[in-house]
Chains A and B, each alone.
Chain A
Amino acid sequence: MSLTTQQIITLQAAADRIIPPDDESPGARASGAATQLIAMLDGDLAALKDDYAVFLTQLDLEAQVAYGSHFAELSAEQQDVLLGSFRASAFFNLFVEHVHEQFWSSAAGMKLVGFEVNG
């Protein structure tokens, strides 16, 4: 089963709060890290795809219950409050790690910390 369009939109938005964009550099979305993570769900992380689907659906439902909108349409502050409510969830923390892995191995992540590849 593929993730639904809504689940993918939710993942992109949530990843962009794990590593948000700022004036200096892109976040997880614009860096390609979130897209790379989505691709991994058909590759090395395929075993977790169903768990991802459940988590993303739940996150979006919580958004609708709390604010009457899809997660991706909330303000950054509202998104952070919702994500913070998953702080104790093992799966949320796994998701956080997955986003970081992709971001810090992306060109944007390397550039941000000043890791330049010469040779």
Chain B
Amino acid sequence: MKYDVIIIGAGAGGGVAAKVLTAAGKRVLLIERGRWLTFESTGRDHLRNQRMSLYGHNAGPSDDHPRVVELPNGQERVVLPWQEGYQANAAAVGGGTPVYGAQAWRFHPTDFKMATTYGVPEGSSLADWPIGYDDLAPYYEAVEHELGVCGDAGAMTHLPPYRRDYPMPPQPLTRPGALHRRGAAALGWSTVPVPLAINSVPYAGRPACIRCQHCVGFVCPVDAKNGAHNTFIAHAIASGKCDLITDAMVERVQMRDGHATGVSYFDAKGRRTLAEAEVVVVAAGAVETARLLLLSGITNDNIGRNLQGHVYVGAVGLFEAEVYDGLGPGVTTATTRWSHDNDGVVGGGMLADDFIVLPAIFWKRYLPPGAPRWGLAAKHWMRDHYRRCSEIKGPIQDIPSPQARVTLDPRVRDRWGLPVARLSGTTHPESIRTARFLHAKAVEWLKASGAVEVWGEPPAAPYLSGGQHQAGTCRMGHDPATSVVDAHCRVHGTDNLYIADGSVHVTNGGFNPFLTIMALAYRTAEGVTKRW
């Protein structure tokens, strides 16, 4: 069967593209290596989830998808999806969105003009986007309403005024959120309610959030968290024009003279299948999209370079009284005061309070140096501190490096015989300077909020950041010598091959990136329909 469009990857970008293209009357084949998730099938295992994957995780990818990681000392190791260094994002219908925290941030206008604003640090590939905030604003707005985002547009004073407010009011404030709002006010910092793709009130036929304690990393028990799976993909399928194939691994995009003719893939039973289309859209995530382009024989030295996600900073504050109130999802209050215009550093980032922290994660990641590690003292330390702590954390805008890279491993192959992704390099060292700056602001905020003790250090050295926020490996640009796709997200040198995921981000903003991935996919898919 010949389709109008084949989309590879049913995540944030691919899901939006499927909806926009089917709404324009196109016949779409959507191919996903994962499967549908349910609350029952993913559960609430505190040691095996997308927030902490000590012994596995709950939303894929499976161990059929190993990678090779090159360590700074030159050694390498094969890693499974839940192991350190893999740069995992969930592999499922909806991609990471069924299990994400759903922070629905627009990027800052300056995020699109990083090189012009700050210059290019030596050895970095910092660059401007070929499009700007104004190009994306209408698509941000469309996604906020079709997906369902709660928030307060009037509070987003770091952005140009919104044409329409969010379709739902923000989630009510939590006890730690109220403390942090007062703390920021005491410092003279503005705060905003964190925009979330979570129903604060019933929306589009699904219920309001029940304020449970297992949001980020888990599937919502009442389907009040909005992702690609229960919005855009559901609409695409309901149109009758979208065939979704799950458990299918794409082998390559079939190319002839700069023209994509279709794709070959292995179905759930391992049968190799060919599908033809007029247009192919790759939306497999920044690591797998780069790998697939390389497997498809597309030659451009930029493919796979500039892998970036977010270097995170955070600090934990201990308060005199209990601050825990058990009201999920937990993240309520952010400041964008330090996103830009910071003396002596490139860029900056957003800071916010955190999702409810599971006790096992608290033990693993929140203990101060010197806390007792075993015996009654350790047990009582947890009992006496868990409900008195609150974290301030946030992503800094990574300064990209061309050496942070996805290539094809020369030896290791997956179960389909395809060379696996090999990851190497680190973020540019300049990112660490920005991280130290933002970390100091997190500490300052916690103290102003009343914390009697604060602990947690910024990262000491550059590392490879990718993971759930992975981006950058097929960046947009006008010049094929320095980019992979053009300003319409069409792969240079091809006439019908597009990319619709975080790969095309030139830089990744100092914010969670999914809303930008969706807005850009919306624009890209609309562009496809307009030119054809």
**Contacts between the two chains (Cβ within 8 Å), count:** 86
User: Within 8 Å CB of A101, what residues of B?
Assistant: 47, 54, 360, 363-364
Q: In the bound complex, how far is the Cα of B134 from the Cα of A39, in angstroms?
A: 56
Q: In the bound complex, how far is the Cα of B211 from the Cα of A28, in angstroms?
A: 30
- Chain A residues proximal to chain B, CB less than 8 Å: 17-20, 22, 24-25, 27, 40, 44-45, 80, 83, 93, 96, 99-101, 104-105, 109-110, 112-119
A-B contact pairs, 27 of them (CB 8 A): A17-B374, A17-B375, A18-B374, A18-B378, A19-B374, A19-B378, A20-B376, A27-B379, A44-B55, A44-B56, A45-B55, A93-B373, A100-B360, A105-B360, A110-B359, A112-B379, A112-B382, A112-B383, A113-B359, A113-B387, A114-B326, A114-B387, A115-B358, A117-B214, A118-B213, A119-B211, A119-B212
- Determine if A117 and B386 form an interchain contact, defined as CB atoms under 8 angstroms apart: no
Q: In the bound complex, how far is the Cα of B222 from the Cα of A19, in angstroms?
A: 35
Q: In the bound complex, how far is the Cα of B387 from the Cα of A10, in angstroms?
A: 33
Interface of B, helix, strand, loop or mixed by DSSP: loop
Q: Which of B46, B221, B374, B379 has the most CB of A within 10 A?
A: B374
| Chain B residue, CB-CB nearest to A92 | B374
Q: In the bound complex, how far is the Cα of B221 from the Cα of A101, in angstroms?
A: 24
Interface residue from B45, B211, B387 paired with A118 (Cβ < 8 Å): B211
Taking the nearest CB of chain A, how far is it from the CB of B15, in angstroms? 26
User: Within 8 Å CB of A17, what residues of B?
Assistant: 374-375
Q: Is B36 an interface residue (CB 8 A)?
A: no
Interface residue from B326, B360, B379 paired with A20 (Cβ < 8 Å): B379
| Chain B residue, CB-CB nearest to A118 | B212
Q: Is B189 an interface residue (CB 8 A)?
A: no
Taking the nearest CB of chain A, how far is it from the CB of B329, in angstroms? 12
The 6 A-B residue pairs with the shortest CB-CB distance in the complex, in nearest-first order: A119-B212, A113-B386, A105-B46, A44-B55, A119-B210, A104-B360
Chain B interface size, under 10 / 10 to 19 / 20 to 34 / 35 or more:
20 to 34
Taking the nearest CB of chain A, how far is it from the CB of B406, in angstroms? 28
User: Within 8 Å CB of A24, what residues of B?
Assistant: 383
Q: In the bound complex, how far is the Cα of B361 from the Cα of A115, in angstroms?
A: 12
- Determine if B222 and A119 form an interchain contact, defined as CB atoms under 8 angstroms apart: yes
Interface residue from B211, B359, B376 paired with A115 (Cβ < 8 Å): B359
Q: Which residues 406-436 in B have Cβ within 8 Å of A in the complex?
A: none
Also in contact, A117 and B213, with CB within 8 A (given A18-B375, A105-B47): yes
User: Within 8 Å CB of B363, what residues of A?
Assistant: 100-101, 104
Q: Is B324 an interface residue (CB 8 A)?
A: yes
- Determine if B359 and A105 form an interchain contact, defined as CB atoms under 8 angstroms apart: yes
- Determine if A114 and B386 form an interchain contact, defined as CB atoms under 8 angstroms apart: yes
User: Within 8 Å CB of B212, what residues of A?
Assistant: 117-119
Taking the nearest CB of chain B, how far is it from the CB of A41, in angstroms? 12
Q: Is B362 an interface residue (CB 8 A)?
A: yes
Q: Which of A18, A22, A109 has the most CB of B within 10 A?
A: A109
Q: In the bound complex, how far is the Cα of B374 from the Cα of A80, in angstroms?
A: 10
Taking the nearest CB of chain B, how far is it from the CB of A90, in angstroms? 13
Taking the nearest CB of chain A, how far is it from the CB of B84, in angstroms? 15
- Determine if B359 and A109 form an interchain contact, defined as CB atoms under 8 angstroms apart: yes
| Chain A residue, CB-CB nearest to B359 | A104
Also in contact, A116 and B326, with CB within 8 A (given A19-B379, A101-B360): yes
Q: In the bound complex, how far is the Cα of B149 from the Cα of A69, in angstroms?
A: 64
User: Within 8 Å CB of B382, what residues of A?
Assistant: 104, 109, 112-113
Also in contact, A113 and B375, with CB within 8 A (given A104-B362, A105-B360, A118-B211): no
User: Within 8 Å CB of B46, what residues of A?
Assistant: 104-105
- Determine if B376 and A22 form an interchain contact, defined as CB atoms under 8 angstroms apart: yes
Q: Which of B46, B54, B364 has the most CB of A within 10 A?
A: B46
